[in-house]
Chains A and B, each alone.
Chain A
Amino acid sequence: MAEVFTRPPCARLPLAVDTAPMLAALARIPDAAWQPHFNTEYFSGDWSGVALIAPADAQGGLTPGQGEPVPTALYQAEPAWSAALAPLDAVVRSARLLRLGPGACIREHCDYDLGSPDSDLRLHLPLLSHPDVEFLLDGLVVPMLAGECWFLDLSRPHRVHNPGTQVRIHLVVDCRPSPALQAMIAAGAPATPALQPSRGSLALQAFQQQVVADATLRASLLAHSERDTFIDTVLALGRQHQHLFSRDDVLAAMRQQRQRWQQRYMVQSA
């Protein structure tokens, strides 16, 4: 019997990606081709994209769709793109360049359309990035580097922050699950570098330790029974004590603690 493929949370594929031809092609894309991302609820700053291959029914080329994949003129103009997709050995349903501008932030969300066993497999090929970018999956930083190709299960909670002054651009590819691609994901999973705690979560942890040990801080936080004003106070007091973390860091930590309590019976029998 063939082994059943189960999606790992993420995996670095055993593929070496030559970014040089893609970076050259990228430089030739006119500024006007970049369109703002459709999902305006979930980000702040510049999050925009260029469609290279898009489902025929995708609005503006960046949204998901069920139609036939259609290569765009920008894709056809540069052999670098097809050369990059060939080793994936799967039907490509969409390929987009996604750009996150300096200071931009994508808030935590789940792409539920990627969550079923037959869903497309989403791959990230970082083209331009820098060490301060944090791509968090399940609250942990995925250490993606330019020149690598990663599978990410983005039906799990994820968010991205690009602090500093440089843009971050990934080639994001949705593939139909093929045996070859699934085999690459499975082969890459064991050697995938461990996910790391984010700077924000470490800062929040430091603040949490300070609060539980400090009766005055504790009292000012205990005074809040309303969730939003409580979180505002946490953020303000955190900043005041030089702990830099975001509202998403706080929300993620609260969700994690809630789950731990709700799942206590499972924890106990484990």
Chain B
Amino acid sequence: MMAALRPADLAGWLPIMARSSPAGYRLDWAFFDRHALQEPFFHNSTDSVLQLPFNQLFRRDTALDVLAAWAEQPADTAPAAFVFHASRCGSTLIARMLSRLASHTVLSEPAPLDTLLRAHYTDPVATRWQRDSLRGLLACYGQRRRGGERSLVVKLDAWNIFELPLLRAAFPDTPWIFLYRDPLEIVVSQLRQPGVHVVPGMLGASPLTLPFDEVSGLTRAEFVAQVIGQILAEGERQCRAHGGIAVNYSELPGAVTGRLAGLFDLHADDLALAAAGAGQHAKRPEQGFSPDGDDKRREAGPEVLAAVAQYAQPAYQALEALRAPVIPSTVSV
């Protein structure tokens, strides 16, 4: 029997995939070494390290319980903040701004985190190990691999707002934001280029997945609008219940270096570099970031307007009521 792997044995390795097997959950690991995770999403970073032939042959496959040892020791960098969001509302922009900093590691929607957060929907006994595994997983992701890191910022998948209480149980003191946007703009964007959660049947087990007979009569626009409406409503509920900070897309990018700078553990001399990151389009770095709300509103026809008004506007209004009045800020670079 091989001795259990200690965190020191896994220095530089990160979980890239969690999967259930007949003998319990397992993790696949790749060697990231000093890789900075600056790609738009964690899976892009993974694609990048998997280019190295070493990672095509010497990946590791371990039981989930190797995370227990990570959970027991103090993390190199504990999570500074969690970013929840309603999709298409600037969370990738935030990631881009923070990941430029040598002091910050930004995890953008790593699939193993989503898998662990939703494990109990298909495997009820998962609640026994989820809390510790989540602590272990983020301690592992928070390894100081480059040398200068002090903060880990974790951006979740849009649908994970439903699992917020579980993440809070593991990290009760970590502040978090819920980022949202005028739902008309989100819905138009999702209709243009659908994400996993707005394609019926793609997401898998989640409170966001409604019974088939509840959604089978909906038009495409209505379906998308009700998904976004659910996420916004849950965001508002969780903000009230668990002290989340509601942030509107309209506040970006200024809020990152403004009212959220402390939450993101930004020091005074980090601000200019982070702000400069906003000069690039988050998912298409060759393009600059520019607010595109007006285009999206013009694109919406009467059917989309009606669907959004019915399914998503009320939750949006509730979030706006919750949000602290803020003076729109601009970036000065």
Contact = CB atoms under 8 A, between A and B. Distances in A.
Interface of A: 208-209, 211-213, 218, 221-222, 224-227, 230-231, 234, 250, 253-254, 257-258, 260-261, 264, 267-270
Interface stretch (B46-54, B164-172, B247-255, B299-307): B46-54
Given A212-B60, A213-B9, A222-B31, A261 B54 contact: no
A231 B50 CA distance: 15
Contact of A222 (B19, B46, B52, B115): B52
A230 B58 CA distance: 12
A218 B53 contact: no
Contact of B17 (A211, A224, A231, A267): A267
Contacts of A250: 57
Contacts of B65: none
B111 A222 contact: no
Interface string B6-27: 0001000000110110000000
A211 B58 contact: yes
Given A234-B57, A253-B57, A257-B56, 14 more contacts: A208-B58, A211-B58, A213-B9, A218-B58, A221-B58, A250-B57, A258-B56, A261-B16, A261-B28, A264-B19, A267-B17, A268-B19, A268-B115, A268-B204
A264 B111 contact: yes
Contacts of A218: 31, 54, 58
Given A212-B60, A264-B17, A230 B54 contact: yes
Nearest to B43: A264
Nearest to A229: B53
A230 B16 CA distance: 22
A224 B111 contact: no
A203 to B, nearest CB: 14
Given A260-B28, A267-B19, A254 B56 contact: yes
Contacts of B111: 264, 268
Interface of B is mostly: mixed
A222 B33 contact: yes
A230 B53 contact: yes
A40 B308 CA distance: 65
12 contacts: A208-B57, A209-B2, A213-B9, A218-B31, A218-B54, A221-B54, A226-B53, A230-B53, A230-B57, A261-B50, A264-B111, A268-B17
B220 interface: no
Nearest to A222: B54
A221 to B, nearest CB: 5
A269 B204 contact: yes
Contacts of A268: 17, 19, 111, 115, 204
B59 interface: yes
Interface in B157-203: none
Nearest to B55: A257
Contacts of A267: 17, 19
A224 B54 contact: yes
Contacts of A225: 51-53
A11 to B, nearest CB: 24
A231 B177 CA distance: 47
A213 B50 CA distance: 19
B16 to A, nearest CB: 7
Given A231-B53, A261-B17, A264-B111, A212 B28 contact: no
A82 B52 CA distance: 54
B52 A254 contact: no
Interface in B80-98: none
